[in-house]
Amino acid sequence: MKEFRYIHGVSSLCLDQSLCIGCKMCSRVCPQAVFSHQGGKAAIQDHDGCMECGACGVNCPVGAVSVNPGVG
Tens digits of residue pLDDT in 57-72:
999 999 999 998 766 5
Distance CA 5, CA 20 (A): 26
62: phi then psi, degrees, rounded to nearest 5: -120, 5
Which residue ranges make up each domain of the chain? 14-61
pLDDT exceeds cutoff 70 at 6? no
pLDDT digits (tens, 9 = 90+) for 13-39: 999 999 999 999 999 999 999 999 999
Distance CA 21, CA 51 (A): 24
37 C-beta neighbours (distance < 10 Å), count: 15
Residue 67 near residue 56, CB atoms below 8 Å? yes
The fold of the 14-61 domain, in CATH, is: Alpha-Beta Plaits (3.30.70)
